[in-house]
Amino acid sequence: MLLHRSRLVLPLAGPPIEDGALVADGSIIAGVGLFDELRAQFSSMDTVDHGETILLPGLINAHCHLDFTVMRGAILPNSSFSAWVRRINELKRTLTDGDYLRSIADGLAELRHWGTTTVLNIESLPELMVHLPPPPIRTWWFYELLDIRNRIHTEEVVAGALSFFEQRPAWHGGFGLSPHAPYTTSLELYRLARFCSEKYGMPFTTHLAESDEELRMFSEGSGPLFDFLAGLGRDMSDCGGRTPIRHLLEAGALPTGAILAHMNQLGPGDEALLAAHAGAFAIVHCPNCHEYFRRAPFPYETLRGLGFRISLGTDSCASNRGLNLFDEMQTFHRAFPGVAPGELLDMVTRHPAAALGHAGRLGELRPGARADFLTLPFGGATDDALDAVVENRAPPLAVYLNGHSA
């Protein structure tokens, strides 16, 4: 057991604690409180004094594609989504298995460097995972499912992926399913993913309502994404007359608890439809990716007002400058200066933990939670601590996962 002391502990599960401490019993937190009181209670324990710092929970990145870390700066910002999809498909064809493995390793290292201890990663090449060492942070690998090019996915494939994790007890995290998006994934495949997610208790995420081109494809049956996908041979008979959100919801394609990435473009009738599902889904917003595509403002107030909890993600380096959640909080804060820093911090800790089904175990410091935390230098007043975290521009001084620093 170890006692970690810090000038200010931000448990998020409760108010900030000046001259606070955390007791790590192996990988689990055994206590959080005033240093003096914990010191008296656990007098034989070694102490790590983190000095003039803020100690807070490790951050959780709710949407990432580690496969594309090597594509940083490779695609110039362009407001056309279908042009970007064309370009990334061209680039993907030039990458070797070695490039992808390096991409995943570099991405994981960069995430940890910036204080992320849990990531929801969408994996388009799950067959490469047998070559990976245990990841340095808690990683949920979401098996990407799409069938525009007739890839075969069955329940047996999903069950096989589950046994992969059962054979790797040193891997922290788990396995989930990610039907890619309504424009690349058939409703039949969505329903299979929903069935497996419910049967095996696996988290489920998908891209939804990301671009105006996606909205136009489904609502009007036209536009650049429609033309691009029709050219690839996709059956376009499901397009016209309804929004992408209605397309999935009315088909029963989404399990309760589905994690919906983006939700940028609400069309006619979507608000009323979503109101009937408030709280049933989690939503992920990717602020830097949003800026990269020069999208219209994210409907944060609308979605929050409907009762949805919003998390933040980085998306991939194919549409972002890095994998740094502090940078994402700052970009979000510039777009929505009225959102309180405590709420913003919840978007990279408690909200994504709840979306994963790990509320109280990840994303906050409390007895029984995982000992995942980080420290930032801090010399200011306690009242300014939350702002200091949101505005932090330096890598954390220390990052602990399961009670261990790297």
> Which CB atom, from 89 or from 154, has the smaller least distance to Zn ion?
89
Instruction: State the minimum distance, in angstroms, from the CB of residue 183 to Zn ion.
Output: 13
Q: Binding-site residue total for Zn ion (CB under 5 A)?
A: 1
Hunting for tokens 């410091």 — which residue is that? 365
Please give the Cα distance from 302 to 299 (Å, whole number): 5
Smallest distance from Zn ion to CB 96, Å: 22
Q: How far is CA 400 from the centre of its chain?
A: 19
Q: Of 10 and 189, which has the nearer Cβ to Zn ion?
A: 189
CB of 161 to Zn ion, least distance (A): 20
The nearest distance, CB 319 to Zn ion, in angstroms, is: 8
Choose among 282, 285, 231, 225: nearest CA to 256.
Answer: 282
User: Residues 6 or more apart from 166 whose CB is under 8 A from it?
Assistant: none
> Site map for Zn ion, 114-143, x if CB under 5 A?
------------------------------
Interior angle at CA 112, CA 42 and CA 161, nearest 5 = 100
- Among candidates 258, 252, 254, which has minimal Cα distance to 356? 258
Q: Which is nearer to Zn ion, 123 or 315 (CB)?
A: 315
Report the phi/psi class of residue 26: left, alpha or beta, with left for phi > 0 and alpha for psi in -120 to 50: left
Cβ proximity to Zn ion, 78 vs 163, nearer residue: 78
Instruction: Work out the number of other CB atoms within 10 angstroms of the CB of residue 134.
Output: 11
291 close to 337: Cβ distance less than 8 angstroms:
no
The sign one gets for the Cα dihedral 258, 264, 269, 275 is positive
Closest residue to bound Zn ion by CB? 315
Nearest distance in Å: CB 86, Zn ion: 16
Of 270 and 315, nearer to Zn ion (C-beta) is 315
Q: Which is nearer to Zn ion, 129 or 259 (CB)?
A: 259
Please say which residue, 148 or 398, places its beta carbon nearer to Zn ion.
Answer: 148
Rounded to a whole number of angstroms, the minimum distance from the CB of residue 389 to Zn ion is 26
| Smallest gap from residue 11 Cβ to Zn ion (A) | 31
Compare residues 3 and 303 and give the one whose CB is closer to Zn ion: 303
CA-wise closest residue to 127 among 101, 149, 103: 101
Q: How far is the CB of 67 from Zn ion (least distance, A)?
A: 11
Question: Of 234 and 285, which has the nearer Cβ to Zn ion?
Answer: 285
Count the Cβ atoms, other than its own, within 10 Å of residue 389. Answer: 23
DSSP letters of 172-219?
A: -EEEEEEE--TTTS-HHHHHHHHHHHHHHT--BEEEES--HHHHHHHH
> What are the backbone angles phi and psi of residue 295, rounded to the nearest 5°?
-80, 160
**From the centroid of its chain, how far is CA 169?**
22
For the bound state, the minimum distance from the C-beta of residue 321 to Zn ion, rounded and expressed in Å, comes to 16
Give the nearest distance from C-beta 313 to Zn ion in angstroms. 8
For residue 74, give both structure tokens: 């490779």
Name the phi and psi angles at 385, rounded to 5. Answer: -65, -45
Cα separation, 142 vs 165, in Å, equals 12
The site map against Zn ion for 284-323 (x = CB under 5 A) is: -------------------------------x--------
Name which of 210 and 346 has its Cβ closer to Zn ion: 210
Cα–Cα distance, 401 to 37 (Å, whole number): 25
Q: Which residues bind Zn ion (CB under 5 A)?
A: 315
